Amino acid sequence: MQKPMIGWREWIQLPELEIPRVKVKVDTGARSSSLHAFDVELLRRKRRTMVHFLVHPLQEDNHTTVECLAELADERWVRSSNGKRELRPTIRTSVSFGGDAWPIDLTLTSRDLMGFRMLLGREAVRRRFVINPGRSFLMKALKP
């Protein structure tokens, strides 16, 4: 069976977080995926640790804000592109695009200075897609 082709950037959905679309950079050089989040707060609820956070899902739009609550799956040390290590809260949530949905681990961090609100790492796309680094937005369904 031939795998679908995606570009180096795509529009995706995070349905469990009620984020209808966010532009992602598909980055096979990054193992994990990360989402721009701010006002991140860990909460204890019924013997579970939850993460409450806010997201500006659209680049250059600081008015559209989505409030999210998810169970903390882990806290991981991640080395960012500038070489610094950071301990990040990690959640497990579903990602959806191209007519398919599957669970991914997603680290939460400030991506204000980055070009994309979300980075989709190789663990999230492994064995699912062929990536064409010379093309963009091959999954047309979510393009605004």
Is 9 part of a structural domain of the chain? no
Is 97 part of a structural domain of the chain? yes
> What integer pLDDT is reported at residue 3 of this predicted model?
87
Q: In whole angstroms, what is the distance from residue 37 CA to residue 55 CA?
A: 5
Q: Where are the alpha helices (DSSP H) in the chain?
A: 122-125
Is 1 part of a structural domain of the chain? no
> What integer pLDDT is reported at residue 8 of this predicted model?
95
The total of structural domains in the chain comes to 1
Rounded to whole angstroms, what are the CA distances from 1 to 4, 5, 133? 9, 13, 21
> What integer pLDDT is reported at residue 144 of this predicted model?
47
Q: In whole angstroms, what is the distance from residue 11 CA to residue 106 CA?
A: 16
Is 19 part of a structural domain of the chain? no
Q: Name the residue range of residue 71's domain.
A: 34-129
> What integer pLDDT is reported at residue 143 of this predicted model?
47
> What integer pLDDT is reported at residue 69 of this predicted model?
97
CATH number, position 76: 2.40.70.10
Is 27 part of a structural domain of the chain? no
Q: pLDDT tens for residues 22-74?
A: 999 999 888 889 999 999 999 998 889 999 999 999 888 889 999 999 999 99
Is 137 part of a structural domain of the chain? no
> What integer pLDDT is reported at residue 113 of this predicted model?
66
Is 141 part of a structural domain of the chain? no
Q: pLDDT tens for residues 74-133?
A: 999 988 777 789 899 999 999 998 788 999 999 999 877 677 899 999 999 998 899 999
Is 92 part of a structural domain of the chain? yes
